[in-house]
Amino acid sequence: MLDFSLSEEQQMVQDMAKDFAEKEVAPYVDQDEENHYYRREILTKMGELGLLGWSLPEEYGGNGMGWMEAVLAQFEIAKAHTSWRLSISGNNWGPAMTINKFGTEEQKAKWIPGFLDGSLVGSFGITEPNSGTDVASMKTFAEDKGDHWLVNGTKMWISGGHVCDVGLLYAVTEKGMGAKGISAFVVDYNQSVEGMTRNPIHTKVGMWAAPTSEMVYENVVVPKENLLGERGKGFQECMWQLNNTRVGCANGAASLSAACLEGSVAYANERTQFGKPIGKFQLIQEQITNMKLEDEAALWLVRRAAWLKDQGLPNQQAVSMAKLSSAHAAVNAANTAMKVYGSYGYSTEYPCGRWLRDCKQFETLEGTSNIHTTIVANIELGYAPNR
């Protein structure tokens, strides 16, 4: 039976996350935007409430729930403040889930609980100054020194990079072998301190309450046992991870689109011109309808991707469709909201400016819209498998 309704448990998760967002996230939005401030205690509280523990074994702190519940929760938190869409990706869907999939029992027991209870801030380092979409062209080198790895290179645009405790690092271990020469590591940044420089990027257009960083490694020692999975298989591990963290990106975009729609509806009912609410004008109605159409499509594409993941079914095309569609919806919705709000939208007293700043990231990170277009088409045309 096809059922679009939420179970009682899912409804509870959604209500709890909404309540959390209203009490713990919303009150600080303006202040944190103004100060470009990362409020770590939000992550700590999410951990305490089990809001970071999705799809992972209960022995490591998992909350016994899966992808669908996670996207419901993340949606509510990100709707209050898009910067906080990164919380679950940065801890659970990025590091914890990848360690759970490829790590040894020791690595799982050592790292996963901290990511899920919020005592650790996580990150994943793929991008470099000259290596973005072409992941296999990365240059950061982890040299095998027998009893340890010696890392040299620079990662760029890393979410949480200068505030994280532990992160995934993708680096070359065999030079000249492209994708086959990349390996994954877990790096404890409280331990691998010498030679490490972490610079906050202060020039971002949006996402002001979410820290983003340049990470420079100069002869940084990483313990031998921190190799994650097989040596030389880091590229595949990275693609596997991205197919998870991209759901967070897609869901964040769908949630931003929903925030714009909700705000625009409220404003259209409140604001009167020519003696009636502007919502009564057909051209405003067309704008609301267009937002609603794209918003609803994005929402269900994200939930379908989450459902496929919960079922263990192939989901790569669904994830790319969700990411592509929701990025499009978010950008259009933020643009339209600014028009519906008129001059007040142009004032920083209203959220339209923040929505516009925050929406553009979704067309770029975790695979640009060009790349997701290519993934969808290649799978559809039978040129690539749907994993």
Ligand X SMILES: Cc1cc2nc3c(=O)[nH]c(=O)nc-3n(C[C@H](O)[C@H](O)[C@H](O)COP(=O)(O)OP(=O)(O)OC[C@H]3O[C@@H](n4cnc5c(N)ncnc54)[C@H](O)[C@@H]3O)c2cc1C
Enzyme catalytic residues: 366
The single residue among 152, 364, 378, 386 that binds ligand X, judged by CB under 6 A, is 364
Residue 88 contacts ligand X per CB under 6 A: no
Q: Say whether 13 sits in a helix, a strand or coil.
A: helix
Question: Based on CB atoms, which residue is closest to ligand X, 204 or 280?
Answer: 204
Decide the pairing of beta strands 196-200 and 212-223.
antiparallel
Find the binder of ligand X among 361, 362, 372, 379 (CB under 6 A). 361
Q: By CB under 6 A, what part of segment 13-32 binds ligand X?
A: none
Q: How far apart are CA 116 and CA 196, in angstroms?
A: 25
- Residue 172's H or E segment, with its range, is strand 166-172
CA dihedral 165, 166, 172, 174 (to 10 degrees): 130
Residues between 196 and 235 with contacts to ligand X, criterion CB under 6 A: 204, 207, 212
Q: Which residue, 132 or 195, is less far from ligand X as judged by CB?
A: 132
318, 306 contact by CB (below 8 A): no
Q: Is 348 in the site for ligand X (CB under 6 A)?
A: no
Pick 126 or 359: Cβ nearer ligand X: 126
The answer to whether 96 contacts ligand X (rule: CB under 6 A) is no
Q: Which residue is nearest to ligand X (CB)?
A: 132
CB of 356 to ligand X, least distance (A): 15
329 interacts with ligand X by CB under 6 A:
no
> 325 or 361, CB closer to ligand X?
361
Task: Tell me if 10 contacts ligand X by CB under 6 A.
Answer: no
Q: Residue 97 interacts with ligand X (CB under 6 A)?
A: no
Binders of ligand X: how many residues, by CB under 6 A? 19
Q: Is 359 exposed, middle or buried (0-12, 13-18, 19+ CB in 10 A)?
A: buried
- Which residue number, 63 or 361, has a Cβ lying nearer to ligand X? 361
The DSSP code for 65 is -
**DSSP letter assigned to residue 196:** E
Q: Judged by CB under 6 A, does residue 178 bind ligand X?
A: no
For 322, other C-beta atoms within 10 Å of its C-beta total 30
- Which x/- pattern, by CB under 6 A, does the window 102-131 give for ligand X? ----------------------xxxx----
How far is the C-alpha of 363 from the C-alpha of 258, rounded, in Å? 17
CB of 34 to ligand X, least distance (A): 18
Single residue of 370, 377, 380, 387 touching ligand X by CB under 6 A:
370
CB under 8 Å to 77, separation ≥6 — which residues?
Answer: 17, 20, 21, 25, 46, 51, 84, 85, 87
Q: Which stretch binds ligand X (CB under 6 A): 16-24, 334-342, 359-367, 379-387?
A: 359-367
Of 77, 363, 374, nearest to 246 by C-alpha is 363
Closer CB to ligand X, 371 or 384, in the complex: 371
Per this entry, what is the length of the chain?
387
Query: What's the closest the beta carbon of residue 162 comes to ligand X, in angstroms?
Result: 12
User: Dihedral, CA atoms, 346, 347, 352, 357, nearest 10 degrees?
Assistant: 80
Given a contact cutoff of 8 angstroms between Cβ atoms, the answer to whether 121 and 90 are in contact is yes
- According to CB under 6 A, which residues from 139 to 158 bind ligand X? 157-158
Site for ligand X in 40-69 (CB under 6 A): none
One-letter amino acid of 362: F
- Residues forming contacts to ligand X in the complex (CB under 6 A) are 124-127, 132-133, 157-159, 204, 207, 212, 361, 364-366, 368, 370-371
